[in-house]
Structure formats: structure tokens, C-alpha cells
Amino acid sequence: MSIKLSLDNFDETIQNTKGILLVDFHAEWCGPCKILGPVLDELEAEGYITLGKVDIDENPRLADLFQVSAVPTMVFFRDCQKIGQGVGVYTKDEIIEYLGRLELYDPYQQQ
């Protein structure tokens, strides 16, 4: 079951989520968001991610903090660290492939 995120619970959710948290910045009026939403719900149901949802109309400051200029925007977190971001509609397979690359990403590794 996805978590409805706002400024009030965002930091706590980031800190308490194990594995990958995918934050879906969306809007009710957004057609592409309505296409992506069920894909993300399915990924969560299958255990690939924990899903957080941010309605940009209800939480414009939170969207601004992450420089969301288009929806849908997905922001990926692991261990309180932002590890990726994508804009647009992706297929389930494309997201699973991206998650595989993120699993290999070490935010603490020196570049």
C-alpha cells in the first residue's frame, strides 16, 4: 500500500524505509501519471519497491525541493540517499532494469 507523502512525513518516511523507496510525483489531471500509477502499484505489490506518492498540487513546496518541473517524476531513495530520478512514463520492465542498476549503485563510493 503506497504512502501518501507530504512535508510533514517525508523525512521520517525516508529514514524509516528499508530497500528502495520510489517517490512518485504526480497530479490528478495528468494523463501520463494515470498510466504510470498502476505500473508502480504492481511493482510495490511484487516487492520491488516501497512506493511513496506526492500530489504536486497538494504539496508544491515538496515538488520544488526536488525540482520537479514535469509529471510524472520518479525519485529513488535508498538508505536516506537520493540515488536516481526519472521523468515520464516507463514500462514495468524498464523500471525493473533501472532498479537493477540502482542496486549496484553505492552512494558512499568515491568517484
More confident position, 25 or 79: 25
Model confidence at 111: pLDDT above 50: no
Model confidence at 107: pLDDT above 90: no
Please compute the mean of the pLDDT values over residues 11-15 and round it to a whole number: 95
The predicted structure's pLDDT at residue 102: 82
Question: Which of 21, 23, 30, 62 is an active site residue?
Answer: 30
Q: Where are the domains of the chain?
A: 3-88
Question: Which of 5, 22, 33, 40 is an active site residue?
Answer: 33
- Residue the block writes with cell 568515491: 110
Q: Which CATH number fits domain 3-88: 3.40.30.10, 1.20.120.530, 3.40.50.300, 3.50.50.60?
A: 3.40.30.10
Does a cis peptide bond (omega within 30 degrees of 0) precede residue 60? no
80 part of the active site: no
Instruction: Please state, in angstroms and rounded to a whole number, the distance separating the CA atoms of residues 56 and 28.
Output: 9
DSSP state at residue 105: -
Q: Taking the complete model, does pTM exceed 0.85, yes or no?
A: yes
The 10 Å Cβ neighbour count of residue 71 is: 22
Looking at the chain, the whole-number percentage of residues with pLDDT higher than 70 is: 93
The predicted structure's pLDDT at residue 105: 56
The predicted structure's pLDDT at residue 101: 87
